Chain A
Amino acid sequence: MRFTRRSGRLEARVEPVEARLLSTMASDLLELLGPGEDAGADPLAAMVGLSSGPLHQPDDPALARLLPDAYEDDDEASAEFRRYTEGDLRAGKRARAGQVLASLAPYDEGGRVPLDREQADAWLGLLNDLRLVLGIRLEVTEETDLDPPGDDPQAQALHVYGWLGEVQESLLAQLVRLPPA
C-alpha cells in the first residue's frame, strides 16, 4: 500500500490482501477498545459531578498504552483525569477505526481509495493505534529485527508491524505536502 496524489487528491493504492488485512485489524481494534458508549453512564450522576468513568489504567498493556496515565507518579490525579477523559479518548479512537472501515468498504477487492484531509487524519491515527497495539504485543524495542528468519514464531506479526510502519511513513510523506485541515 502506498499513498499518492492525483490532481492534488490524496489516494491510497490498496491491494486486495491489504484491504482485508487493514479492515480486519481495524475491527480487532474496535473489539479491544470495547463499547463506544458508557453503557452504565448515569447522566444525572454526571451532571452533579459523580462521574462513573473508569479510575484505573486498563490491565491489558496494549490498551494501557492507548489509554495512558496522565500523571507519572500521582495515582489520584491520574484517576481523576481518567474519569473525565477516557470515554472521549476511546470514542475518538473508535471513530477513526470506523472511518477507515467505511472508506475501505467499497474497496475490498483493492483499488485507489480517495481520502480527504479528515479521512487521511483518521487513517494516520488508526495506523498509529495499530502499531502501538502490535508493538506492545511484540514487545518491540528500537533494536528489534523486523525481518527475522522465517522460523521465528513472531516473523509474520513482525512483518505486519513493519508493513504498518512503511504505510504510515508513506502517508506522512504525502501529508507534509497537504495544507492543514
Chain B
Amino acid sequence: MTAPAELDLPDVDDQTTPERPWVAIVWNDPINLMSYVTHVLMELFGYPREKAEAMMRDVHYKGRAAVASGTREQMEHDATRLHAKGLWATLQQD
C-alpha cells in the first residue's frame, strides 16, 4: 500500500517579466568559418547579408553577439536551430 502521490507541479519561473526579453547568444569559436556563420544567420533568421555580417563580426571580434530576442520558449527554439547548424549558442535573459 502506498500513500497518495503528491502531484509534482512544475516550478514556475516567476522571475520572467515581459520587460526583460530573452536573447540567443552566439559565441566566437576558432573553427566555424566567418562565411558560414553569416550564411546561417541569414538562413535561420532571414537577416539581410549586411545585418548578418555585422553580427558575425561582433561574434568574431567581441567574442559574442545576441542574434535574436523574444520569449524564453522562442529563444530555446532558436538555440536548437543554431546548435543544429553547429554554432555555439546559449540563451539568457537580457
Contacts and interface: CB of A to CB of B under 8 A. Distances in A.
Interface of A: 65-72, 81, 85, 88-89, 92-93, 124-125, 128-129, 131-132, 135-136, 140-142, 144, 165, 168-169, 172-173, 175-176, 180
13 contacts: A68-B88, A68-B89, A69-B90, A72-B90, A81-B76, A93-B84, A124-B36, A124-B39, A125-B85, A140-B31, A165-B33, A169-B33, A169-B35
B30 A65 contact: no
Nearest to A72: B90
B62 interface: no
B64 to A, nearest CB: 10
Contacts of A165: 33
B84 to A, nearest CB: 5
A140 B30 contact: yes
B51 interface: no
Contact of B85 (A81, A128, A144, A173): A128
Interface of B: 25, 30-33, 35-36, 39, 43, 76, 79-80, 83-86, 88-92
Contacts, number: 68
A68 B83 contact: yes
A171 to B, nearest CB: 10
Given A125-B85, A132-B31, 5 more contacts: A85-B76, A92-B84, A93-B84, A128-B85, A132-B32
Contact of A89 (B31, B32, B83, B90): B83
**What 7 A-B pairs are tightest by C-beta distance, nearest first?**
A135-B31, A128-B86, A70-B79, A72-B90, A142-B30, A141-B30, A172-B35
B31 A131 contact: yes
Given A85-B80, A175-B39, A70 B89 contact: yes
